[in-house]
C-alpha cells in the first residue's frame, strides 16, 4: 500500500452518534486499531460519557457520585460534542442533522442505545421515574435517602436492582409484576420462580399477576381496584432501541426498532455501522437475529465495527457472533448469564435453588448453549468457554454441582 493510499485510508471522518458505552468503545477501539483520521463522538446528554450499570447500584445508593469513563478523549484525539442531539441522517449526502446543525461524515456509527418504555398514561404524573440516565439516578437518590415508600412497576433486571437498592436504603418497597413471576421475559418459569423468594427475603413485597390500571400522584391503582400508596413510582418495564430518529433515513430497522446490522455490524446503507443496544445482528451460532441490551455487547461489538472501519475491508475480520454475557447484582446475589437459550432447550440444574448458590445449564442436543449462575462465578466462567466452543457435555456428571463444569465436556 502506498503512503498516499494509507493516508486516504486513515483520513476518513468517522462520526459516532451516541456517546454511551458502545459509542465510546467504538471511538477508543478505532484508535487502538491504528485509525488516525478524525473521530467525533456526538452525545445528547450534557454529561461526560459514563457507564450505566453503576446507576442502579452504587450511584443510586450514593456510594459513588458518578460513573464517568476514565478516558482521556483529548489525548486520543477524539472530539466530543456533548449536549448535541442527532435528529436525522441524510445518507445520500453523508450528512447528519443535529440540534447544532449538519455534521458531515465519511463513516457513521449508530450507537444511540435504548430508551426505557414508559408506563402508558404516566406521562407528567409527579413522582413517576424511569432509570436509564445519570439524571434519572440523581432524581431517585433523594427518594432513597428519605426512605420514602416506593412502588416498582416491573420485576425485570432494572426493577430487581432498584428494589435491592431501595430496600438497602430502608424504603418500603412494593414490586408490581403483570406476569406470574419475576423475569418472565428472560427466563423459564422453573428457573425464575425461586427468584420470587428473594424479594420477600429482602423485605420487599412482590405482587405477581398484578396489572397497573393507572398511576396517580402518590398512588398506583391496580386493575383489581387495589391502591398502593407510593411517594415514588419507578417504572422498569423494558427498553427499546433509540432509533426513532432514523425513521426517514432509509436505514433498515427490525420490527422492534433495532438497526438490523450484518455480521460486520454494517447497516443496510453504505458506510453506516450500528453497535450496542440500538443494533441487532445475525447470530450463526444461535441461528437467529439477536438484540442484546447488555454491557458486554456494547464492549465487544464496537471492536468488530472499528476493525472493519480501520481496515476498510482490507483485513480478515471474524464475523460478530459473540456468546452474549451479562450480570446483575440483586438481593445480595451475583447473577450471571452467558449464551442464549430457546424455549425448546433443556435446563439442567446444578444445585438447589433454595440455597444461596446454584446454576442452570441449557442443553440443545447435548450441546451446552447457555448457563445461568447465581453465586457460582466458576460455573459461569467455565460454562461460557464451553458454550463458546460448542461443547457437548455429560449431563449426568454436570448435574452434580461438586463436579467442575469444565470436566464434564465430552471428547
Ligand X SMILES: Cc1cc2nc3c(=O)[nH]c(=O)nc-3n(C[C@H](O)[C@H](O)[C@H](O)COP(=O)(O)OP(=O)(O)OC[C@H]3O[C@@H](n4cnc5c(N)ncnc54)[C@H](O)[C@@H]3O)c2cc1C
Using CB under 6 A as the criterion, which residues of the chain lie in contact with ligand X when the complex forms? 17-23, 42-45, 52-53, 55-56, 85-86, 111-114, 131-132, 158, 242, 245, 276-277, 293-296, 298, 326-328
- Cβ proximity to ligand X, 216 vs 262, nearer residue: 262
How far apart (Å, rounded) are the C-alpha atoms in residues 184 and 200? 18
How far does Cα 206 stand from its chain's mean position? 24
Q: How far is the CB of 21 from ligand X (least distance, A)?
A: 4
- Cβ proximity to ligand X, 165 vs 361, nearer residue: 165
Q: How far is the CB of 26 from ligand X (least distance, A)?
A: 9
Residue nearest to ligand X (CB): 20
- Cβ proximity to ligand X, 35 vs 295, nearer residue: 295
How far apart (Å, rounded) are the C-alpha atoms in residues 160 and 154? 8
- Cβ proximity to ligand X, 294 vs 364, nearer residue: 294
Burial class of residue 75 (count of CB atoms within 10 Å of its CB; 0-12, 13-18, 19+)? exposed
Q: How far is the CB of 291 from ligand X (least distance, A)?
A: 11
Q: Residue 56: what are its φ and ψ, rounded to 5°? A: -95, 10
Q: How far is the CB of 55 from ligand X (least distance, A)?
A: 4
Residue ranges in 169-215 assigned as alpha helix (H): 189-202
Scan for cell 488516525, then name that residue. Answer: 36
Q: How far is the CB of 9 from ligand X (least distance, A)?
A: 26
- Cβ proximity to ligand X, 59 vs 228, nearer residue: 59
- Cβ proximity to ligand X, 276 vs 351, nearer residue: 276
Q: Are 169 and 162 in contact (CB under 8 A)?
A: no
Q: Which three cell numbers stand for residue 356?
A: 444461596
Q: Are 361 and 368 in contact (CB under 8 A)?
A: yes
Distances (CA, A) of 279 to 226, 246, 257, 296: 39, 12, 9, 14
Element (H, E) at 119: none
Q: How far is the CB of 168 from ligand X (least distance, A)?
A: 15
- Cβ proximity to ligand X, 53 vs 238, nearer residue: 53
Q: How far is the CB of 239 from ligand X (least distance, A)?
A: 7
How far apart (Å, rounded) are the C-alpha atoms in residues 161 and 167? 10
Please spell the DSSP secondary structure of 342-403, one letter per residue.
-TTSEEEEES-TTSS-EEEEEEETTEEEEEEEES-HHHHHHHHHHHHHT-BB-HHHHTSTTS
- 408 Cβ neighbours under 8 A, 6+ residues apart: 393, 394, 397, 398
- Cβ proximity to ligand X, 69 vs 349, nearer residue: 69
Q: How far is the CB of 101 from ligand X (least distance, A)?
A: 14
Q: How far is the CB of 337 from ligand X (least distance, A)?
A: 9
How far apart (Å, rounded) are the C-alpha atoms in residues 217 and 222? 14
- Cβ proximity to ligand X, 85 vs 321, nearer residue: 85
Amino acid at each position: 500500500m502506498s503512503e498516499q493510499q494509507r493516508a486516504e485510508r486513515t483520513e476518513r471522518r468517522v462520526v459516532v452518534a451516541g456517546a454511551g458505552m458502545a459509542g465510546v468503545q467504538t471511538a477508543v477501539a478505532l484508535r487502538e486499531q491504528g485509525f488516525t483520521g478524525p473521530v467525533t463522538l456526538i452525545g445528547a446528554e450534557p454529561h461526560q460519557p459514563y457507564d450505566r450499570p453503576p446507576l442502579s447500584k452504587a450511584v443510586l445508593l450514593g456510594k459513588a457520585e458518578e460513573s464517568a469513563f476514565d478516558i482521556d478523549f483529548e489525548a486520543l484525539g477524539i472530539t466530543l460534542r456533548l449536549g448535541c442531539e442527532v435528529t436525522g441522517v441524510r445518507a445520500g449526502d453523508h450528512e447528519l442533522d443535529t440540534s447544532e446543525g449538519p455534521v458531515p461524515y465519511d463513516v457513521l456509527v449508530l450507537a444511540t442505545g435504548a430508551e426505557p418504555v414508559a408506563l402508558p398514561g404516566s406521562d407528567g404524573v409527579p413522582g413517576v421515574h424511569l432509570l436509564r440516565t445519570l439524571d434519572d439516578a440523581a432524581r431517585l437518590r433523594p427518594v432513597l435517602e428519605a426512605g420514602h415508600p416506593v412502588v416498582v412497576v416491573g420485576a425485570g433486571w432494572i426493577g430487581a436492582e432498584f428494589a435491592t437498592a431501595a430496600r438497602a436504603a430502608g424504603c418500603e418497597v412494593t414490586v408490581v409484576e403483570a406476569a406470574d413471576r419475576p423475569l418472565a421475559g428472560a427466563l423459564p418459569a422453573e428457573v425464575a420462580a425461586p427468584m420470587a423468594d428473594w424479594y420477600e427475603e429482602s423485605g420487599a413485597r412482590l405482587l405477581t399477576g398484578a396489572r397497573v390500571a393507572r398511576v396517580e400522584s402518590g398512588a398506583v391503582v391496580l386493575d383489581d381496584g387495589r391502591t398502593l400508596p407510593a411517594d415514588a413510582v419507578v417504572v422498569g418495564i423494558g427498553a427499546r432501541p433509540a432509533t426513532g430518529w432514523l425513521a426517514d433515513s432509509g436505514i433498515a430497522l427490525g420490527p422492534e426498532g433495532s438497526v438490523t446490522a450484518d455480521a460486520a455490524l454494517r447497516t443496510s446503507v453504505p458506510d453506516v455501522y450500528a453497535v450496542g443496544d440500538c443494533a441487532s445482528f445475525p447470530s450463526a451460532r444461535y441461528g437467529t437475529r439477536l438484540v442484546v441490551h447488555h454491557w458486554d455487547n456494547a464492549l465487544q461489538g464496537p471492536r468488530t465495527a472499528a476493525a472493519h472501519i480501520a481496515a476498510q475491508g482490507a483485513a480478515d475480520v471474524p464475523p460478530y457472533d459473540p456468546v452474549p454475557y451479562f450480570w446483575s447484582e440483586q438481593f445480595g446475589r451475583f447473577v450471571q448469564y452467558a449464551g442464549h437459550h430457546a424455549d425448546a432447550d433443556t435446563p439442567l440444574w446444578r444445585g438447589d435453588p433454595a440455597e444461596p448458590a446454584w446454576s442452570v445449564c441449557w442443553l440443545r442436543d447435548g450441546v451446552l448453549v447457555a448457563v445461568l449462575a447465581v453465586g457460582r462465578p466458576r460455573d459461569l466462567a467455565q460454562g461460557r468457554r464451553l458454550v463458546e466452543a460448542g461443547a457437548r457435555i455429560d449431563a449426568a456428571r454436570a448435574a452434580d454441582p461438586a463436579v467442575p463444569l469444565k470436566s464434564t465436556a465430552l471428547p
